[in-house]
Amino acid sequence: MINRIKILAVILLSTLSINKIHCMETNSNIKNRFDSIHISLLTCSPHDEVYSLYGHTAIRYQDIAEGVDLAIHYGVFSFNEPYFIPRFILGMTDYEMGICAFSNFCEEYIYYGANVTQQELNLTPIEKEAIFIALQKNALPENIKYRYNYLYNNCTIKARDILIGNIKDEVIFENRIDNSISFRDIIHSCLKDHVWARFGDDLLLGIKADQKTDRSDQQFLPANLMTDFSHAKIKRNGKIVPLVKSTYTVVKSSNTEKDRQTGWSPTPTCCSIAILLCILIIVGIEQKKRIYLWGFDLFLALLVGFPGIILTLMIFSQHPTVNLNLQILMLNPMALLIIFHLIRHRKECNELQKMWEITALFLIATLLCSIIQSFAEGMVVLASSLLLRVLYNIRLCGKLTKKNEK
């Protein structure tokens, strides 16, 4: 795959270089030369692959005179690269500029049954030249890779900056946007039918993801950029002209609402309620048989401790929206210390009571912080359930301490 991309990059470099030479050689005919070149924004609808749930953006570069028709995008990656998942979590993933024949690009979306919309841009010859020179520079071996960030530097942002950044005149976006929505709100709108993907994102996103966004922020989503382009105007030589010359569907979606429906699966809230019911049942058994099932608390410590390791790593991530995540007050690797105390000191009520009291403070802080940060689905129920269990343990330790003193 990578070798094919490199070959196509060479083709693009050659093609663009030839075009540039033509322009230099026939400066008087520059307008005629660029009349055969069409540059468009391609917006691809989501499909079922997890990496496509937000859609995709590409640039179509079509030179009719030279017989060149390419799709250029910024979304090439491989799960097989060493340490891909840890590097992605830490914001250290490099994506590549991808170049392929336009027909091959469309075939992929035909296969997935997704929609591809083309918006041909209303560009001057000079602007077309500036864009393909920018693409030429991006295709160089030293520039073909870039540091990916799925909110601030993704495939859509890269395409937008190439196109808008090389338009000489002022571009005006005339459509109104909702400045009160956050990155998290936008992500939720994309993942409404994918509850566990939404849960995973909400688990990793911190408080910064709840801040209000402006138009530039919201354009990280392909559908938003397409909408903005459709309402955009250019101030050109004292006149107002549309940014988009024409719009049409090059690949029509074959998916229906029925196709997207899946069977029932437990939601995060269902799982949290199930844990609450287990806690109530365990407490009932302990009270009835006058025993302490410490193995259950060991399980709960593992449940919150291991995700806490991931959230702790996110503190050092280069993703700007994940560093400060208040869910770490509950999902904390320090919970793993409870395992040590349960195994080593489970018969020492004073030690256990101190541990449970500290844990209770963290859980209360978690519930208070849920007011200022949107937590992942089910987290508030889980925190409340764990607090219930911890308060019971504190009460139990207090009773046993008094009993031992007598």
DSSP string, 151-212: TTBSHHHHHHHHHHTT-SSEEEE-S---TT-BHHHHHHHHSTT-HHHHHHHHHH--GGGGSB
Neighbour tally for 269: CB within 10 Å: 16
Locate 228 and state its tokens.
């903005």
Helix (H) or strand (E) holding 45: none
Last residue of a domain, one of 244, 260, 276: 260
Is residue 276 domain-shared with residue 162, that is, in the same domain?
no
- What's the CA angle centered on 209, arms 205 and 210, to 5 degrees? 125
In the three-class reduction of DSSP (H, G, I as helix; E, B as strand; rest coil), residue 78 is classed as: coil
**Beta strands 116-121 and 94-101, pairing class:** unpaired
> CB-based contacts of 239: which residues, under 8 Å, 6+ apart?
none
Tell which residue, 159, 197, 191, has the closest CA to residue 39.
Answer: 159
Last residue of a domain, one of 236, 260, 284: 260
DSSP string, 281-294: HHHHHHHHHT---H
Is residue 223 domain-shared with residue 332, that is, in the same domain?
no
Bridge partners, 240 (sequence order): 235
Helix (H) or strand (E) holding 228: helix 222-230
Integer Cα distance of 47 and 27 in angstroms: 45
Is residue 248 domain-shared with residue 284, that is, in the same domain?
no
pLDDT per residue rounded down to tens, the chain (406 residues): 444 444 444 445 444 444 443 444 445 455 667 778 999 999 999 987 887 899 999 999 999 989 999 999 998 887 777 888 788 778 888 899 999 999 999 999 999 999 999 999 999 999 999 998 999 999 999 999 999 998 999 999 999 999 999 999 999 998 999 999 999 999 999 998 899 999 999 999 999 999 999 999 999 999 999 999 999 999 998 899 999 999 999 999 877 555 555 567 899 999 999 999 999 999 999 999 988 898 999 999 999 999 999 999 999 988 889 989 999 999 999 999 888 888 887 677 777 888 899 999 999 999 999 999 999 999 999 999 999 999 999 998 887 766 665 5
Q: Determine the residue type at 328.
A: I
Please give the sequence-ordered ranges of beta strands (E in DSSP) within 237-306, or none if there are none: 239-242, 244-251
In a domain, 196, yes or no: no
Range of the domain at 344: 268-405
In a domain, 65, yes or no: yes
In a domain, 31, yes or no: yes
The pair phi, psi for residue 171, each rounded to 5°, is -100, 130
Overall domain count for the chain: 2
Dihedral angle, C-alpha 128, 130, 131, 137, nearest 10 °: 150
In a domain, 327, yes or no: yes
In a domain, 379, yes or no: yes
Predicted model pTM: 0.86
Is residue 233 domain-shared with residue 358, that is, in the same domain?
no
Is residue 343 domain-shared with residue 297, that is, in the same domain?
yes
Locate 182 and state its tokens.
């956050």
> CB-based contacts of 228: which residues, under 8 Å, 6+ apart?
173, 175, 215, 219
Question: What would you measure as the largest C-alpha separation in the chain, in angstroms?
Answer: 105
The pair phi, psi for residue 76, each rounded to 5°, is -90, 125
Integer Cα distance of 15 and 165 in angstroms: 22
Is residue 234 domain-shared with residue 322, that is, in the same domain?
no
Is residue 109 domain-shared with residue 246, that is, in the same domain?
yes
